[in-house]
Structure 1
């Protein structure tokens, strides 16, 4: 069973390395932010696979070890009983001989090893180590969240902006832009309508985007048709491609505030609105990963 698991995990690791190699080749053609997003995705993929493999091995060991331990303990117990019930025929000694001989000292019986208990102790130590490592990683994540939150809050405060929380459900980019359009221009387009706008623009200008449309799970390049269908019909996350597509389609500048550098400005080819749509990009603050919030003017 364990060998079958190792074989499966080796195959999954090889597949992961193939996907990572494809992602890295594609990242060379993207901009700085796209490269950073790809690196983060690679790190997440490696961490997820490593954690899943560790849990699979632990689960399998739990199912195999107790039975093996019981069998060995039963065997040890049986052998001990047989040894205790076996007597060796010794020559009888006369009373005179007994006087001359020193009293026979009782032999110290060696306590049998409890192999199952030893395994359980080892497993307990391993679990404690894994738990400590998980707590350490969690503490590091919390620190990253706090650092990002404090740093971005300072950036927004200096710009006279404050974040409006958008539900982190996979539609956050489109929902935050929807909130901005209503806030600035009284334009009421919900997140699904904005998904349609982005998909229609990308499909219409497919030659410009071909080669940059990646599958989130495999990292493989998708066809324009398939990519646009996913944008319309699923909760596929939006990113730089969708932001630029919406900026061009809606003819409005979109400014993205982040902690990695200056404000990223997506300018439309033709501007109908001069007031920029402002959103904030978070990399660590939310558990699901990358997230966008809407930004409004600070009324204080």
Structure 2
């Protein structure tokens, strides 16, 4: 199969990869997302949508530079449905997440939004059969994420915040849908993500003008924004695209619960948060869930029965 950009490799940015290697590349995106909280904290009082516009612009420029030599811009010649999926996933998720935090308490909204890894595991099983260890691994990860987000404290869901909760769930649904559907389109080169990032930057800036007051960063805040655009809101989306298209999506979904844990560990290391029993227990739950979900990759053939959903 030839890619739309004329290259023989549908992903353009990724050579032939094993399932395990591609899954690991996807997890590198999760590791980069662990830096989101720290860099966002260091970015000062820049409003969320303005911050997204600036970061996605940096990420898009990063993609342009990286793809210039191989003509990566040719990968932008995609059907409208592909653009709708790509831009809808990147912009839609982040806009909904920001709106959810405006309409509901941050703890509850964040926890609901973190249903996306579990939804990925469920969606990825459609037509292929849901394997129990993937689902159990994702549930363990969700329990660990709940400990991280709540700090081990009880939740207080209030009926008056139902619109915010609904928006947060919609955000989770959008990101899970984007990830799974992208995985079903391996013919779309990863270089196309550059176009999605630039379009998201434009839409985020428009939403910022409608909903926020501009606040320009100062001093070290510019470095934090540059770090966001190069890593968690830049390179991470290209790595994620490779992971969902070439890796084990169910394993990647369950392992994504490491993001809030790693983020907390980074904040602790930077002196922005304190270690606690909740963090320690979350570490055990998320690690156990990820290992369980990745059982087939870690121990190939280890007692695995043939998948009855796979045609012989």
**TM-score relative to the length of structure 2:** 0.24
Higher RCO (C-alpha under 8 Å, 6+ residues apart): 2
**TM-score relative to the length of structure 1:** 0.25
Relative to total residues, which structure has the larger strand share, 1 or 2? Answer: 1
Q: Which structure has the larger Rg over C-alpha atoms? A: 1
Relative to total residues, which structure has the larger helix share, 1 or 2? Answer: 2
